[in-house]
Structure 1
Amino acid sequence: MIWRKLAIFITVVALTVVAFRTRSFSQSTTALANLAASLQPGTWAELTTNNIAPTLAFTGGASGITIAFSENGVWDPVSRQFFYIGGDHSPTMPDTCPRFVSYTESTNTWQMLAKPAWFAPKCTPGGAMHGYDHTAIDPLHRKLYYRPFNDMVVRRLDMASNTWTDLPVIPATVMANTDCCVGVAWFPERNSLIYASVETGTNGSVIE
């Protein structure tokens, strides 16, 4: 079943690997921490979680899952949550919008989060806003960044206050092409968000 494959993909790749990268498991006993502690280097295991199918599947869209055309999500080491933003082609359930979701380590549970106001233009019936590589996080200052599909405005979530703000529009003199699918990443060494996009053909640009 689609949601079964989804569970294996998400729990193994997104959670166990991310948890190892943070090297900061909580002191309390959790299903994720226990599983990670039991693994030998180079081995894999499935983490059974709660509410994963209702959160990530059953979209009523083309693929039936909200992680279609997506490669990343982000881990917040403070709240110990994994966050993902994206959507299926032509979703209809619970509505026509993409989804903002999280996994919480302490409860081992997935949940849909409140849709930010800037989702509204992305909720057009028959449309899509895939996740691609459009999410980044600054874990030190607890800022989550998301670049919506075909949009020159990056959105930033202050995770402490749960408040979204728009970054300045990227001017055409800096990046002329509004490409559908780009890559964003937070570079702590530069204290900046790096944004990479193909401009035309094989020509591209990287900005911060």
Structure 2
Amino acid sequence: MTDIIEHMEWRYAVKKFDSTKSLSKEKVQKLKEAFNLTATSYGLQPIKMVVVKDKELRKKLVVHTYGQLQVAHASHLLVLCIENMVDSEFIANYFERVQHVRGTSDQILNPYKEALVKNFSSMKKAEIKQWAINQAYLALGNLMTVCAFERIDSCPMEGFDPAGYDSLLGLDEKGLTSVLVMPIGYRADNDMFSEFKKVRRGLKDSVIEI
């Protein structure tokens, strides 16, 4: 089996995708499941992922991605979003899932639930938003690793206009805000960046052992 480090060495932020190649349904399904299995703070999952396959729609999104054509040429586009409302109802829904899956009693769950509700009710909206954004970054890192292991090319992006995406994808109506995007697919044979060596600090400069 190929070592995970070899997979990580293989991956890079693709600058040019092969628009003639598409990911199989099985590959896309793995990424959906990997996203859903990503660890999040308190297990609350204040994030959702929109999978955009429609090529015409992705062409319209290019202008809101500062002209980056990977969005249009990739097989699919993953849009990571945060929930606009994380309130007592959202938290209660999580604990209902816990009870349904694990059969944990209210006696055990209620103190934890009440503590979370109290904690989030004391937070400002901007604090909750930043907390949710942090969870989206966790998911992005997880997806990048799974993509590398599955030999799926990707290009994580922060450079885009969330308002434009939210409008075109109807995210406002879904109670969501886009925060990260990642085109996925297969690199073009003539993407010169695929041959570039990685530039990283040495381990002694990036890792401290105590």
| TM tier, smaller | under 0.3
The higher radius of gyration belongs to: 2
Calculate the TM-score normalised by the size of structure 2. 0.28
Q: Which has the higher contact order (CA 8 A, sep 6+)?
A: 2
| Higher percent of residues as helix | 2
Calculate the TM-score normalised by the size of structure 1. 0.28
| Higher percent of residues as strand | 1
